[in-house]
Amino acid sequence: MRPRVLILHAPGTNRAVAAARACALAGGAPEVVSVEALLRGTREVREFQMMVLPGGFTYGDDLGAGRLWGEALRAGLGGELAGFVAAERPILGICNGFQALMAAGLLPGDGEAAGLAANASGRFECRWVELEPEPGSRSIFLRGLSGPIGCPVAHGEGRLVASSSAVAGWSSRGQIALRYRVPAGAKNVYPHNPNGSIENIAALTDDTGLVMGLMPHPEDAVTPAQRPAARRRAAGRLGLALFEQAMAWARRRV
């Protein structure tokens, strides 16, 4: 049984097809559905066993990345999304989807003030990164996964900012999911950490482990050919592993 995956599309989403492909390769049955269809009630989230918020520049990112999409989710679908999580169905927010989950309050979900700000470089950054799953993370997307996990990043606003106490709280509750891998002895965390996120955090999960958001694009690292040539012989997994874990979780609950 292939779990049905809702690929949530909003005006300006530009990575829905790649996200759907990743879910299909991982054994899911993806379908791209517009947020309007959910808001109008012509489609319902409960038809699905998993949800992905893919990347893009929804609503032009005009008032801050993911802000308007997040607001639409909070205002229009807050109850449905809470129910989805309560039914133990995973939600993955990628890049703009992560920004939207933050804006919607689904992440970090602990009332702490945290945000995704302009990259420390002041620029859009497109590069391949390696990610390390955080030991003890609650995220169901990472169960049993060891690093590194390779995939590209491509964003201008991905610098996670938060107070020390917020980070300490996430750490104690297993909410830190992935960190950018910075080689030992590197003089500078940049560009391994491409945006300057606090403590190299690349992904956060909520306290159920079901909702995860990350700035990198695991959906663009689903076949070995997508790795840069020089990294093809290197050890490690691809972004596809995250989708496979989610599909394994969803399959057990179908």
Partner 1 sequence: MRPPRRVEVHTLDTDPRLRPLNDALQAAAIPCAVDARVDLYDLDGDLTPHDLRALADLLASPPLQRAVIDEAPDASAPLPPHALEIAPRPGVTDRPAASLLRAAARLLHRPLRAVARSRRLLLRGDPDAFPQAAAHLHHPLIARAALGAALPSALVLPPPPPAPLAQRIPLRDLDDDALRDLGAARRLALDDAELRAAQRHFRDLGRDPTDLELEMIAQTWSEHCVHKTFKAEINYKKLSNYGEITHQERIDGLLATFIQAATAAAAKPWLRSAFEDNAGRVALCPGWEIAAKVETHNRPSALEPFGGAHTGIGGVVRDILGVSALPIANLDALCFGPLDLPADDLPPGALHPRRVRQGVLAGIADYGNTLGVPTVAGAILYDPGYVANPLVFCGCLGVLPEGAHPRRPQPGDWIVALGAATGRDGLRGATFSSLELGEDAARHSGGAVQIGDPLEERLVIDAVLAARDAGLYTAITDCGAGGFSSAIGELAAGLGAEIELDAAPLKYAGLAPWEIWLSESQERMVLAVPPDAWDALEDVAARCGTQAVRLGRLCDHGRLILRSQGQRVGDLALDFLHHGLPRRRLEATWRPPTPTPLTPPPEPAWADDLLRLLASPDGASREGVLRRFDHEVQGGTLGRPLVGAASAGPGDGVVLLPLPLQDLPDAPGVAVGLGLNPRYGALDPWRMALAAVDEAARNVVATGADPDHLSLLDNFCWGNPTLPDRLGALVECARGCRDGALAYQAPFISGKDSLNNEHLTAQGERRAIPGTVLITAVAAHPHPARAVEAAFQADGGRIYLLGETFDELGGAAWAHLHGQGRAGEAPLLRPGALRAARALHQAMRAGLVQACHDCAEGGAAVALAELCLSGDRGAHVRLDLAYAAPDLPPHALLFSESLSRYLIEVAPDDAPAFEALLCGLPLACIGEVGGRSLRIDLRDATALDLDVDSLRDAFQRGPDGPCEVQVNNQPGSFQYES
Which of positions 126-185 make contact with partner 1 (CB under 8 A)? 126-128, 152, 154, 156, 159, 161-164, 167-168
Smallest distance from the beta carbon of 190 to partner 1, in angstroms?
4
User: Which member of 95, 125, 130, 134 is catalytic?
Assistant: 95
9 tagged catalytic? no
Stretch that binds partner 1, among 45-53, 110-118, 133-141, 245-253 (CB under 8 A): 110-118
Residue 98, helix vs strand vs coil: helix
The separation between CA 154 and the C-alpha centre of its own chain, rounded to angstroms, equals 13
By the rule CB under 8 A, 188 interacts with partner 1:
yes
182 vs 208 by CB, closer to partner 1: 182
d(CA 138, CA 102): 18
* CA distances from residue 232 to 66, 88, 179, 193, 241 in whole angstroms, order as listed: 33, 35, 21, 21, 16
In the set 15, 89, 138, 237, which binds partner 1 (CB under 8 A)? 15
Does the annotation mark 23 as catalytic?
Answer: no
- Does position 98 interact with partner 1 (CB under 8 A)? The reply is no
CB-based contacts of 228: which residues, under 8 Å, 6+ apart? 128
Q: Which of 2, 4, 31, 34 binds partner 1 (CB under 8 A)?
A: 34
Q: Can you spell out the DSSP letters for 173-194? A: HT-EEEEE---TT-S-STTTSS
| Residue at token pair 């492909």 | 21
- What is the smallest separation between the CB atom of 4 and partner 1, expressed in angstroms? 19
Rounded to the nearest 10°, the torsion over CA 58, 5, 226, 212 is 70
Q: One symbol per residue from 190 to 229: x for binding partner 1 (CB under 8 A), - otherwise; what is it?
A: xx-x--xxxxx----------------x-xxxxxxxx-xx
Among 8, 73, 92, 125, binds partner 1 (CB under 8 A): 125
Q: How far apart are the first and last CA of the chain?
A: 8
Over the window 53 to 82, marking each residue x when it contacts partner 1 by CB under 8 A and - when it does not, the resulting string is: --xxx-xxxxxx--xx--xx--xx------
Place of tokens 């840069």: 228
Nearer to partner 1, 64 or 88 (CB): 64
Sheet strand arrangement including 149-155: 29-34, 4-9, 50-53, 91-94, 211-214, 201-205, 176-180, 125-133, 149-155, 237-238
Residue from 1, 113, 184, 254 that binds partner 1 (CB under 8 A)? 113
Examine the residue annotation and report whether 219 is marked as an active-site residue of this protein.
yes
Q: Give catalytic residues, as residue numbers.
A: 95, 217, 219
